[in-house]
Chain A
Amino acid sequence: MDEVLHVGIDLGTSRSAISASNGERFVVDSFVGWPLDMVARKVLKRDVLIGHEAVANRTMLDLHRPLERGLLKEGSDKDVQAVRELLLHLLRLVGVNGTIDASNVRAVVVVPAAALRTNKQYLRNAMKGIVDSLLIVSEPFAVAYGLDALLHTMIVDIGAGTTDFCVMKGRYPTEEDQRTLTVAGDSIDTQLLKLVQERYQQANVTVYMVREWKEKHSYVGHTRDRIVVKAPVRGVPTDLDITAELKTACESILPPVIETMLDLLSRVEPEFQERVRNNIILSGGGGLIRGLPEALETALRSVGGGKVRFMKDPVFIGSDGGLALAADAPEGDWEKLTA
């Protein structure tokens, strides 16, 4: 038998990443687009565009973001097709169907917790036939597994579509161990876009621009730097100071995130609460918001204090966790996990 390739694929709302046992790692924006008409197809010279390329050419595309709001919209064939295209693209990047046969791939696909709860069967059907063996797990679980943080830990995964909370109790998370909020990166973008449009009414700003600004400069609390970005005002590139708007937009997620974190903590068995409070792990793109761990630690003071760790490599944390799961799963199980 040819050598087996283990892969962990983090299928995110905003970005999707793959980590493979051959050492390859890639990340793409979770956008898939199909040319709108014959003209667009001629110009783009492709039947489907993925990632940044799709976003850049969006005016010529039927653009889909398959896991918008953290779940796969049921009944939308285009979104299912987009998930398949994304997976195939990521697998091709690590050599599958080039030098490696798909039948030798053991894949763990990591999805937002909300999607796994409601779309489990649908997701599995959507991924049918892409690889021979497939395990689907939730993002917070994969993160916890990859970090070997399976006991008395809370994962707070702030993605684009959802913020997932999961308390790890040394078991596969159940419903009571998890919470999902739809307040996440996308809601910051929406707020920021609105605030910038309100302040600079003549500026021509899109959600894609504010997303880029957020990813570069996001913060909560205080900053000494002024955050100045460029956007066209009546066609002229102009400097816009968005320091206050960015702070307001980023801080808009704090109340629900803190409320949910404290609520979930209060439901942990009393003797373990302190240990969980001191083992809170912040993951996902939202973890990159400057000052966020400190803001959460400040909130934890009201219940006796705690420690929030931030993972420095949030891009691959989910796919690396998936890869760890793939590598650890016994071959006997893989034979049963046919896709």
Chain B
Amino acid sequence: MNRVKRRVLQEAVTENLDTIRGLPPRAVRPVRRAFRIWMARAPLIVLALTMGGSAYMLARGEQPLPPVPMKILRQAGLPIFRAADARQETERVAATAFPLAVRRVVLDAGHGGSDPGATAPQLLEKEITFDIGQRLRARLERDGFEVVATRDGDRTIALKERARLANESRSDIFVSIHVNALLAHTNARGIETYYLGATSDPKLTQLAAAENRVSGYSMADMRALLDGVYADARRDESHQLAQAVQEKLYTSLRKADPGLENWGVKRAPFVVLVATDMPAVLAEVGCISNEREAAMLRTPEYRQKIADALYEGIRGYAKKGSENHG
């Protein structure tokens, strides 16, 4: 076996052993590894800077500044890094540790243009999602949210482009609207909401919550600060948003169709969820392959019901965030 083969095989084995041990995916590890290396070296760097600074001040005949009491640092809301932390595994910081507010929402009406999405007689997914998106937009804007739409008509827009639009808009959340088609199960009809994420083990860091309570940043602003921990925070926030949306969709639409099933909140690697930087969910708001539901999806009343439910879900999520973070 050659050297390259031996190396990649060993890496594949290590990756699997990490999974067995419950370590996070490789995608986030380089950041953590770099952070750990930095933290391990931090005491030396701090020591060198302190000695250099002291030598400089002594040379200028000045007294070194008195040490800043820990209490002041805490009051200032600054995170405190201790040398002892350097040897510890980087703690995940939940987004709920920061005061967040949802101001700007990206609405992504699935498919469009040459891509009709799922179809039924005289019914195209791209038309349903666009119509619901427009209705939702009106409701959100009435309530003071800023809305960024990934498509403004019947146009083909690549998923990558949608993600780019969303990321460049520095929005706080991303909501993609789709309609399911289960061609092998035409009797089935239900609601499901997806978010991105590997197996997560959320641990809220109370200390971080206390330290950052007054930061006043929106989720988009905070993103720039969170960097390495953001991937985990985004997953948790996406999960909460997905739960809020799913709950409102199911409870509201079930009134119109008592046979509707709750297929729950699920994780999935849809491109728009992977490539967007903000908490992102993809709601499958109905099942076009089911005749009864397709008939309802043709009516403006039912589409408005869906838009209203999505609005309630988004608003509930935003409101909960504001309440949690004061």
Does B119 sit within 8 A of A, measured CB to CB? Answer: yes
Q: Could you tell me the distance between the alpha carbons of A325 and B11 in the complex, rounded to whole angstroms?
A: 12
Convert A65-101 into 0s and 1s, putting 1 for each residue whose CB lies closer than 8 angstroms to a CB of B.
1000111011110000000000000000000000000
* Interface hits, A113-162 → B, CB 8 Å: 114, 117-122, 124, 134-137, 141, 145, 148, 150-151
Contact of A150 among B4, B15, B22 (CB under 8 A): B4
Does A180 sit within 8 A of B, measured CB to CB? Answer: yes
Please determine whether A337 and B27 come into contact, CB atoms closer than 8 angstroms.
no
Residues of the B chain whose Cβ atoms lie less than 8 Å from the Cβ of A75? 264-266
Known: A145-B5, A150-B8, A325-B9. A337 touches B181 (CB 8 A): no
Convert B147-183 into 0s and 1s, putting 1 for each residue whose CB lies closer than 8 angstroms to a CB of A.
0000000000011100000000000000000000101
Please determine whether B199 and A117 come into contact, CB atoms closer than 8 angstroms.
no
Please determine whether B199 and A122 come into contact, CB atoms closer than 8 angstroms.
yes
Contact of B184 among A63, A70, A171 (CB under 8 A): A63
Question: Nearest CB to that of A73 among chain B residues?
Answer: B266
Does B77 sit within 8 A of A, measured CB to CB? Answer: no
Question: Nearest CB to that of A135 among chain B residues?
Answer: B16
Residues of the A chain whose Cβ atoms lie less than 8 Å from the Cβ of B256? none
Known: A74-B267, A117-B198, A136-B16. A328 touches B183 (CB 8 A): no
Q: Could you tell me the distance between the alpha carbons of A329 and B9 in the complex, rounded to whole angstroms?
A: 7
Please determine whether B11 and A172 come into contact, CB atoms closer than 8 angstroms.
yes
Known: A120-B199, A181-B271. A175 touches B20 (CB 8 A): no
Q: Could you tell me the distance between the alpha carbons of A170 and B90 in the complex, rounded to whole angstroms?
A: 29
Does A333 sit within 8 A of B, measured CB to CB? Answer: yes
Residues of the B chain whose Cβ atoms lie less than 8 Å from the Cβ of A338? 20
Does A221 sit within 8 A of B, measured CB to CB? Answer: no
Q: Could you tell me the distance between the alpha carbons of A141 and B9 in the complex, rounded to whole angstroms?
A: 10
Does B43 sit within 8 A of A, measured CB to CB? Answer: no
Does A58 sit within 8 A of B, measured CB to CB? Answer: yes
Known: A148-B5, A336-B17. A114 touches B269 (CB 8 A): yes
Known: A145-B8, A182-B270, A256-B158. A175 touches B26 (CB 8 A): yes
Does A266 sit within 8 A of B, measured CB to CB? Answer: no
Contact of B269 among A71, A172, A256 (CB under 8 A): A71
Question: Nearest CB to that of B15 among chain A residues?
Answer: A172
Please determine whether A63 and B185 come into contact, CB atoms closer than 8 angstroms.
yes
Question: What are the 4 tightest A-B residue pairs by CB atom distance, in nearest-first order?
Answer: A172-B11, A121-B199, A114-B269, A175-B27
- A positions within 8 Å CB-CB of B: 58, 63, 65, 69-71, 73-76, 114, 117-122, 124, 134-137, 141, 145, 148, 150-151, 170-172, 174-175, 180-182, 190, 193-194, 197, 206-207, 252, 255-256, 259-260, 263, 325, 328-329, 333, 336-338
